[in-house]
Amino acid sequence: MCGIIGYVGHRRVIPVLLDGLKMLEYRGYDSAGIAYLKDGKIKVSRAEGKLENLDLKLNGKRDEVSFTGLGHTRWATHGVPNERNAHPHTDCKNELVVVHNGIIENYFSLRENLKAEGHEFRSDTDTEVLAHLIEKYFTGDLSEAVARAVQEVEGSYALAAMCTQDGVLVAARYQSPLVLGLGEGEYFLASDIPAFLRYTKDVMFLDDGEMVIVRRDGIQIKKAATGEEVKKKAERITWDAAMAEKAGFKHFMLKEIYEQPQAILNTVRGRVSVEEGEAYLPEIDLSEKELKDIRRVMLVACGTSWHAALLAKYYLEKWVGLPTEVDLASEFRYRSLLIGGDTLTVPISQSGETADTLAGLRIAKEKGSKIISICNVVGSTVSRESHGTIYTHAGPEIGVASTKAFTSQLTALYLLTIYLGRVRGAISKEKARLMIKDIIDLPPLLEDNIKNIHAAVKELALEFYKKRDFLYLGRNYMFPIALEGALKLKEISYIHAEGYAAGEMKHGPIALIDEAMPVVALAPSSPVYDKVLSNVLEVVARRGIVITLADEGDKKVADIATHTLFLPKVSEEMAPILYTVPLQLLAYEIAVLRGCDVDQPRNLAKSVTVE
């Protein structure tokens, strides 16, 4: 996700834009830029890297006599982070300029058509097509040109546009946030409230399909498709600036847990077709023959990303029939590897900078293996050294404990499974349609249930936050999720927690069972459900405490467990993603009750760039 800001009013615009972008930096910070109107001309200034680089570039210009402008802080989805790809982007004649947050799914075809009509592109971004599309329809009325342009766009956008007409901005949104700040003779538009909260607490939220014309003397909201006027009520924000950066959540981690429906949706967006029964991963720069010649897959990662790799093994072996090995990168890099040109190596890394994972990538590449990575940071070292990268579009993950990046990794690996399964003829079109429908249906289902899940988890946290040990059990698809649940708890609450394959109970862990140690058992319906149930019975028989996560209405497990948290019933393949969320929330609520620093746990770093 990126951050956009726009201003029309009586203040010098450059400081307003820069200060606003500072408050939006949590949304993306790989490059930034502003555009402002001076003497009838559009001035653009952009810089790679942190916002301070742009600030430096604008040194001495903060007092420029200009009162209309746009700003953007980027989290790259298309095009590596550099000045060339930084927003704002202009049309061919530098008479129009656009900033955008979202993903233009049909940007490639739009760009080809616009190029054929003579438009010259200067960046690799999807956003630039918006500038040329608006230029195509611009005959003097910016709002009309924007309204026509967005009718051709597929995907998500919160865009703001400016032309050389002073004191006018036009913005539009679809499935990306856009909020208006209402001042005295001045108006703001932004991705999020913190951008202008210091100037006004009166806001209006745009809804999907709406657009707004912003002038010094007022705003006009319309439906982009029909031009129909929309009346909205202003709302007054009660947050302070710090709270606003977390959108009212107490911690970034909680905000990011709640962002998961959007993160999963954004990771899927533009990559599937239910009708066609296909997943599209053009990032995988391998021919069909190369993909069919793959004899095995090697997944390499650390920490939470390693848990994602463990689940991918089940997906790939079950649905693609490809022997799949998973290794901790810190082990992989030092063992005698039997991989080569017939191996597809998949490094998985949220940051794309983890030293061990990077080392593993380089060794696998030296041995001739094809490298397709799963990454959340465009232009990260892992992505730059891979033959192709499937990006998770989770947006910046600020909390040290990985949450939305993990469920986005699971989503990306699920798409990879469908893609490889279709290419290699292992998954039929009909089955692919069903699998794709499952992942499309998951985000709204999670959105509808996350608050109820959270409420139920809070009660469990209150009862168990003083415990000193936890055991998490899962089988098959749920084994990696048990490991992830344990890792979440231990890394933010500092409670000792172990994840175990439930079938391993008899081989040691059952000796630990007593009234003091809660056991979290993951028991969705599955071919191994009865086996998990017998493990739960083993624990209960020894007076252990069992918290089970199970399908709504599962009386069987509810009758034997100490506590049962019910979750909506989803397909076996979707259950790992869904069941991760209550475990993240349980770790979060327990850590908060224990007074821990949830966003920056002791001894941990967001990205382990050293061995």
Q: State the residues that interact with ligand AGP by CB under 6 A.
A: 302-305, 349-351, 354, 357, 400-402, 491, 604, 607-608
**Least distance CB 355 / ligand AGP (angstroms):** 9
Closest CA to 322 of 190, 450, 427, 217: 427
Count other Cβ atoms within 10 Å, centred on residue 182.
19
Q: How far apart are CA 299 and CA 319, in angstroms?
A: 16
Q: How far apart are CA 336 and CA 328, in angstroms?
A: 14
| Secondary element (H or E) of residue 458 | helix 429-464
Q: How far apart are CA 292 and CA 320, in angstroms?
A: 11
**Least distance CB 408 / ligand AGP (angstroms):** 11
Nearer to ligand AGP by Cβ, of 204 and 598: the residue is: 598
Q: How far apart are CA 34 and CA 46, in angstroms?
A: 6
Which CA distances in Å does 555 have to 36, 101, 120, 565, 611? 63, 45, 63, 12, 48
Q: How far apart are CA 214 and CA 7, in angstroms?
A: 9
**Least distance CB 411 / ligand AGP (angstroms):** 15
The b-or-e profile of 427-464 (16+ CB within 10 A means b, else e) is beeeebbebbebbeebbebbeebbeebbebbbebbeeb
Output the residue with the shortest Cβ distance to ligand AGP. Answer: 303
Nearer to ligand AGP by Cβ, of 191 and 351: the residue is: 351
The b-or-e profile of 12-43 (16+ CB within 10 A means b, else e) is bbbebbbbbbbbbbbbbbbbbbbbbbbeeebb
Nearer to ligand AGP by Cβ, of 277 and 485: the residue is: 485
Nearer to ligand AGP by Cβ, of 92 and 608: the residue is: 608
Nearer to ligand AGP by Cβ, of 90 and 350: the residue is: 350
Q: How far apart are CA 328 and CA 221, in angstroms?
A: 53
- DSSP single-letter state for residue 228: -
**Least distance CB 375 / ligand AGP (angstroms):** 8
**Least distance CB 603 / ligand AGP (angstroms):** 11
Q: How far apart are CA 260 and CA 268, in angstroms?
A: 12
Token reading at 393:
């579009």
Nearer to ligand AGP by Cβ, of 199 and 258: the residue is: 258
**Least distance CB 491 / ligand AGP (angstroms):** 6
Q: Cite the active site residues.
A: 2, 606
Nearer to ligand AGP by Cβ, of 485 and 509: the residue is: 485
**Least distance CB 474 / ligand AGP (angstroms):** 17
Nearer to ligand AGP by Cβ, of 483 and 513: the residue is: 483
**Least distance CB 54 / ligand AGP (angstroms):** 26
Strand order, beta sheet including 179-182: 41-48, 31-38, 68-74, 3-8, 187-190, 179-182, 202-205, 235-236
The b-or-e profile of 340-360 (16+ CB within 10 A means b, else e) is eeebbbbbbbbbbbbbbbbbb
Find residue 299's DSSP bridge partners: 326, 346
